[in-house]
Each structure stands twice: as structure tokens, then as C-alpha cells.
Structure 1
Amino acid sequence: MNTAARTSGSATHRRVISVLAGGAVVLLALTGCFGSGPSGTATPGSTTAPASTTAPVRGATADAVAQVVQKAMTTDSLKAVIVRVTIGDKVVAMQAFGDSMTGVPATTDMHFRNGAVAFEYVSTLLLEYVDEGKITLDDTIDKWMPTLPEAKTVTLKMLTNQTTGYPDFETDPGWTAAYNADPFHEFTFDERVKDAFNRPLQFAPGTNWSYSHTNFMILGHILSMIGGAPLDQLLQKKVLGPMGLTQTAAYDTATIPEPVLHAFSSERRVALGVPPSMPFTEESTFWNPVWGTPIGAAETTTITDMTTTAVAVGTGKLLSSKSFHAMTDSTLIGFGTALPACAGSCFTQVDGYNYGLGVVRSGSWQLQNPLLSGYSATEAYLPSQKIAIAVATTFLPGAFDENGNYDNASDRLFREIGAVLAPNDPPPIAAKKK
């Protein structure tokens, strides 16, 4: 889900989303959205044909997907790529390329961060409670958190579709400085609330759209109050388990289960005062990710669970028809305006990028595409053809600019693969950020 966003010197978490508006390519840098910029030590052969670990999937489709990935490995300076594609019940491609660490090949069973994919799980839990008659999307949040700004106006739906006007704590200069100083720090709920509301609301609730981690942080807290249990327990019982996810779990530390897809980053280059002329990367695998998701929703996953998620969310497996459409329909196209108060994160929703309830819509495709701490990952689903695509990537030094910024290569790869598999209904393709 992302241009006036922060640079590495003032803010480290940015993901770039490219969308098509009126036929023109528009590059949107939405602050946060679980964004970062990783890099890794170059491995032998990394600038030529990458090594790969292949699952037992063969055929023309798998070969076509592999060709797309192998080209991107060079053009996007990727250290590792893991990809899985399903059509209906059939796995048509599943393969890992490159190295997790120097001399350690990436494999298809490796775990990685899933970032904002958790927003889909949180939104699903919300809508399950709606289907059960416990709440409505129009309930105002003063029922649970009456001291928050505009609590009698802000609704559960506004939290979920990013229209509250609440500032993103992740864009607060104090928060950014603290993160750059110690990426292993665990930011508490109270710390994040304080940093979020150091500044006034960006706009009146419901009058504009702006991506803010604050919204889902608050939503997750409220859902734990509604469910009467910690969020991670509620998600496991009511979402992850019923979806059939066996390798997706939340942690309140930087834990990643073995085997691990390692990530590398140069995003702190400016903050640490490293000159552009000096080579600089650092391993970011175990930076604490408990900052961008609600407490209890900082998760790790695998490429198989990512495609399973794409299908479950894309078909509304756990929801009523009404709630499924509320979650995934493109209802915000044409809504939203760029404002100075939310520069870089507020803009008019277009066909190439529009937000549902925790779900991104791009053309006919439904997806989430997090970028954080050296990882990029995208899972997407095309309902009409039952195509699910999941891609996870890590990066070589060449992926980063002189300030440590980088693009979401997994999103671009998904779009290129989608164009091959669904030429009559491809994802909108956007140009690589210069």
C-alpha cells in the first residue's frame, strides 16, 4: 500500500506504491505501511543467473514465472526471491531463488515478516464480530476509548479504511529518531499513542484518506477488548486457524522460526551518518517489528501461507457475503485529496490503488504488499480466474539509493507475473521509481 514521504535521514519506513491514474503512472510514497530498505552482501553469481531451490512443480507456467524472477534478480538487485502461484486448487509454481545468507540458499519453507498482511487478518476478525451481531462498522470508538480525539465521531469503519485523520505515529520525528537509534526496541501501545497524537488531526474524520499505522494499532486494541482476550489469541482462534494457516504466528519479540529468510538493510545510512561513498549494509532480520501492527499482530509467515491467505481473503472464506463485499469492494475510488498535513500519505484513490477494509485493490486484484526492515512481500488474488500469487524478496546493496531508500520489488514482481498469467486482466503495471 505509497511522494513527499520521509527520506532515510528523517524517516526510515517508506514503501513506494506505483499506481495508474488516468493512464499516467503515479508514484506514491505512503509513509510507513511497513516500509524499509534492506541490502545484503553480494554473493557469487548474484549479478548473473541466480541459484534456485525448486519445489516439485514443473510446467510452462512455472518456467514463465521463473523467467520473470530471474530477470528481476538482476535488474532490481535482489538477494533472494521466494514465489508461489496457485490457480484454483493447483500449485503451478513454487520456487526459491538466490541466497538467504552468503552460501545459504533460500528455500520455499523459510519464514519472513508479513507486515501489513496482518491488517487483513485484523479486518477479518472485525467483520466476524459484525457478522455475529456484536458490533457494527458504524459504531463510534468512544464505547471503548473515549479519551481519543474525536472518539464520538470516529467509527470502526474509519479506522479500517484509513479515513480517521489520525496522524501516523510512524511519521513523528521523535518516533523516527528513537527507531533509528535502536531498531531492537519494542514500542509499547502507550508510546505509540503518545507519538501519534503529538500533532493535531490531519483532517476531520471521514473527510479524506490517509495511510496511518495508528488506525490499525487502535483497531487491534479495541478488538481485544471486544473479544475479551489478547489479540494474538483471538486471531489464532478465529482467523489464522480457520483459514488453514499453519506457519503464521504472532510474536511480541523479534523471533523468527527456523528456517529463516535473512534480510539486510542500508536504511539507517543517513541517520548513522554513513557517507554515500562508503559501502554500508547491516543485517536487519532481527530488528523488532512490533511497531507497525497492532499489539499481537507482528507476525512471521511462509510463502505457502501467503497464497493461502490470498485465497481466503479473496474469496471471503470466513465472512458473510455482505461483510466480504464491505471488505473488498472498490468504494473509495475518486475519494481523497492530497493535503500538506498528510503529504505523501493522502491522495485520491484510483483504480490502480484503492483501499477497502484492510485490503488494497488494484484493478481486479486484491492484495497486501508490505515492505519493512529489508523484506518485501506481496500476496494477491484475482477472483475471476482464481489466481493467487505470493512473492517475498530480500535485497542486495544495489537496491538502495545513496540515502538508503529502496522500492517494493515484490509488488513489481507480482504485477509482472500477474500480467503473464492473466493477460486479459493484468494488475496495473507501474514504472520503477527513479
Structure 2
Amino acid sequence: MTLTGRTALSRLAAVTAISTIIGLGVPVTTAGGAVTAGGGHRRPCVSSPRPDGGPAADVLRIAEQARSEMDLKSVILRVTLDGRELVTTALGESMTGVPADPAMHFRNGNIAISYMGTALLRLVDEGRVGLDDPVSRWLPDLPHGEGITLRMLGASTTGLVDYVKAPGFAESVVADPFRQWTPEELVGISTGRDRLYAPGTNWNYSHANFVVLGAALEKITGTRLDVLLRQQVLGPLGLGETRNSFTPEIPSPVLHAFTSDRGTYEESTFWNPSWTTAPGAVETTDICDLARSAVGIGSGELLSPSAYRELLNPGTVGLGTPTSACPETICLANTAATHYGMGVILLNGWIAQHPLFFGYSASQDYLPCERLAIAVSTTGGRNARDGHSAHTIAQRIAAALAPDHPIPDFG
């Protein structure tokens, strides 16, 4: 079946509503699961019944084709429309002989950056900080911190070099993937180099911004970052399967990952992710939480209208055309240029994040004007070539379900 334009989403909503009545779709709760007969309890994250046709079958076909075409070991996805499940599925294997399952946990990487951005904006809503406050107020030892604001950290406009791209860093990670990196080491790599530009005058993605932001949030609140994110974001959104770990541990059941980063195809599941972002925001999740996260962050449900506008457009410079700051008309912006918000990427009206590291790829995407959420997690097979495979699958799903709003490439 071919779906086109607004009519496609209208038909899709109708199909989803009918499916719910006959038991194929389930109302999503704030916990990211579903309402049970008893009311309110989160059901396990499980595959939906295999669809006979319609949009859910289109999504499943896209996933199956992509897994074969890209040589992916696993594809796990969940798509919701207007708060209701369209399809949840897991294809392939976690390990040889162990089928992938929607309840399996995987690393969510920079998805946690969107939580830090929302947590910061909630503090702004509470009147505890201002976005233009200098970070030196809380981190006086940060070099040039007096010229860097909280807004610049969240929007990645500080001018700090990305330590991940610093000469020798990637080689160090690959040489010793179990190394525990400290935030002082990581930020020191970035601050030890000349800034790329004066703070606030341009944009570049730098992991250092979010390591610093995490430290600042702890100082502002007097609360450890993992606890703060639980209080401000994960708890209110009901993300019960999303959690931080200060070790490489992943809660069971585990989606195992494999990579050829070191020249041979090997398991990378428990390589140390301490370099990826601020301690306290190094998280794992499952696909139901990821879909719920897409809705909760992308809709700004935890934020005031003014804070939501800041989430979407904090005044990012040097990165394409700013997306409309008006939440009600965000889908009308129709710019294919990548635009960075407050810890989120905006892509042609989609509010997104797309982590990729250690053999894991994921994609969290939300289209506010259609209330359409896409969550995808993948792991690569021995001959996998497309690193951002989850993003590619999300693009294909968006093209089928919301052809008027394709997800462009990024990066």
C-alpha cells in the first residue's frame, strides 16, 4: 500500500485506532509500555502481533529488507502514532542462537544529551538558573568559563574542540577499549587546545560541552547527575528501563554488540563507554523507553511553552537555517538543513538524536505535527557497512509514513 501526504497519516491514525479496538495496538502510558486490564501498570516490552497488511506491515517490511541489505545482526524498533503503538518488533539475533527481543537493553549514547538539555530547561522554568548565566559561576576552574554560558553548552556553541576528534584519541580508545576515562581527562583534551571560534559565534558538535554541562548541573542542584536526570526527566516520563551505570554493565536482558573497529569482528558489548558523555548520563535503555523518550522529549511535555521554544531553537548559529521556533508550526519549516537545538537535532521538523559507537546504532525521532515517533536500535553483522544503520531505517520508515516530511541526512 502506498501512503502519501497528510492523507497517509490520517489513514494511519485510523488504522491504529481500529487496531487498538481489536487488540493489535495498545494505548501507551507514561511508562512507555501499555495500559493493562488492571489499569496503569507497565506491560513488558514485547513484539506486537505480526501485521497482515497496512502501515505496520510496511514498517516490518522496511526493517526486514534493511537487515538483509545492510548485513545487520539485529534490528529492534517501535513506532507509535498519537500515543498508540503501531508496531514493535525485534529481528535477528543478539548472539548466535539468541534471538533479539524488544525487552533487550542497549546503550543509548547521546540520547542522554537530550535529557540533560531538558533538565537544564526545567531548571530555567523553575527560576533556578538563566540560560545566559556564565558557567564559571559553578565551575570556576574551567578555562575561559566566564565567557561560556549554559546556553552555549546545551546548544554546542562554545568553540571547544571535540576531544573525540583530537589526534590520537580514537586510537587510544580502540587500543584499550576497557579504559575508564575521567571527565577531567576528557575536558582537559578539549581545553588544552585552541578554541575553534569565540564562544557563541559558531557551532560545532563537541562531546566536551556535555561533560561540562553535566558537571554544571550537579553544582547548580547539589545533586548527582544520574539522580538529577531520574528526578527531572526519566521519572516524569516513566522511563523505567533507562538507567545510568558507572561501570560497563548492561542490565539483563542484554542486546549484544559486535564491531570490526580493531580489525577483527569481535564482541564489544562491555567495552567501557565512560568517554561518551558526562558521568551519570552513560545510560542503557530498551526500545519501548526509546519510543516513549522520543515523544516526551520531542513534544516538550515536561517544559513550559517558552522552554520548549528554547529546546527547538536556542539561537544556534553557523548551522544551516534555524528551524521555526513555534512548536505549533514546526512541520511548516520544511528545511532539510540540520539545526541543533538544546541537546537535540532538528531535521526537517523531526526532533532527533542518533547515537553510534561500539557496534551499537540507534535513532530517536519525533514529528510533533503528526505525533509520530520512530525508535530504532541496530547491531552490525560481520560485513555491515552502514554505520548509522538505525538512522537509515528511520529515514525509510519516515518516507513511508510521513512522505511530506522526510528525515534528511545529518553530520
Pair in the same fold by TM > 0.5:
yes
Secondary structure of the corresponding residue to residue 158 of structure 1: helix
Q: 1:193, 1:117 → 2: CA distance?
A: 20
What root-mean-square deviation, in Å, do the aligned CA atoms of Structure 1 and Structure 2 show? 1.9
Does structure 2 retain, via aligned residues, the 8 Å contact 1:363–1:427? Answer: yes
State the AA in 2 paired with 1:182: D
Superposed, which structure 2 residues align to 1:17-56 within 5 Å?
54-56=47-49
Q: Is residue 2:340 matched to residue 1:355?
A: yes
Does structure 2 retain, via aligned residues, the 8 Å contact 1:351–1:361? Answer: no
Q: 1:413, 1:315 → 2: CA distance?
A: 22
Superposed, which structure 2 residues align to 1:101-140 within 5 Å?
101-140=95-134
What is aligned with 1:186? Answer: 180
Q: Is residue 2:376 matched to residue 1:391?
A: yes
- Report Cα offsets for 1:33-65 as digits up to 9, x if no partner: xxxxxxxxxxxxxxxxxxxx9433635122100
Does structure 2 retain, via aligned residues, the 8 Å contact 1:208–1:336? Answer: no
2:366 to 381, 400, 414: 381
Q: Is residue 2:286 matched to residue 1:302?
A: yes
Does structure 2 retain, via aligned residues, the 8 Å contact 1:365–1:382? Answer: yes
**Gap change, CA 1:244 and 1:366, over 3 Å in 2:** same
What is aligned with 2:399? Answer: 419
Task: Give the Å deviation of 1:396.
Answer: 0.8
Task: Give the Å deviation of 1:331.
Answer: 4.7
Does structure 1 retain, via aligned residues, the 8 Å contact 2:365–2:375? Answer: yes
- Report Cα offsets for 1:347-387 as digits up to 9, x if no partner: xxx73311000010000111111001100000110111110
Range moving further from structure 2, 140-149 or 155-164: 140-149
Q: Is residue 2:391 matched to residue 1:407?
A: no
Q: 2:314, 2:347 → 1: CA distance?
A: 9
Q: Is residue 2:228 matched to residue 1:248?
A: no
Identical aligned residues as a percent: 44
Does structure 1 retain, via aligned residues, the 8 Å contact 2:151–2:314? Answer: no
Task: Give the Å deviation of 1:115.
Answer: 0.3
State the AA in 2 paired with 1:155: T
Range moving further from structure 2, 171-180 or 245-254: 171-180
Q: 1:408, 1:99 → 2: CA distance?
A: 19
What is aligned with 1:6? Answer: none
For normalisation by structure 1, the TM-score amounts to 0.78
Q: 2:221, 2:281 → 1: CA distance?
A: 15
State the AA in 1 paired with 2:406: P
Q: 2:360, 2:409 → 1: CA distance?
A: 21
State the AA in 1 paired with 2:49: P
State the AA in 1 paired with 2:345: V
Secondary structure of the corresponding residue to residue 145 of structure 2: coil
Q: 1:330, 1:367 → 2: CA distance?
A: 15
Does structure 1 retain, via aligned residues, the 8 Å contact 2:320–2:339? Answer: no
Q: 1:128, 1:80 → 2: CA distance?
A: 36
Q: Which has the higher helix share?
A: 2
Q: 1:369, 1:190 → 2: CA distance?
A: 25
Task: Give the Å deviation of 1:140.
Answer: 0.7
- Gaps in structure 1 of 5+ consecutive residues: 1-52, 270-279, 338-349, 401-405
2:166 to 163, 172, 175: 172
- Report Cα offsets for 1:243-282 as digits up to 9, x if no partner: 110100000001111111110001122xxxxxxxxxx211
What is aligned with 2:207? Answer: 213
State the AA in 2 paired with 1:398: N
Q: 2:252, 2:291 → 1: CA distance?
A: 20
Task: Give the Å deviation of 1:193.
Answer: 2.1
- Gaps in structure 2 of 5+ consecutive residues: 1-45, 322-334
Q: 1:137, 1:96 → 2: CA distance?
A: 41
- Report Cα offsets for 1:8-32 as digits up to 9, x if no partner: xxxxxxxxxxxxxxxxxxxxxxxxx
Q: Is residue 2:265 matched to residue 1:281?
A: yes
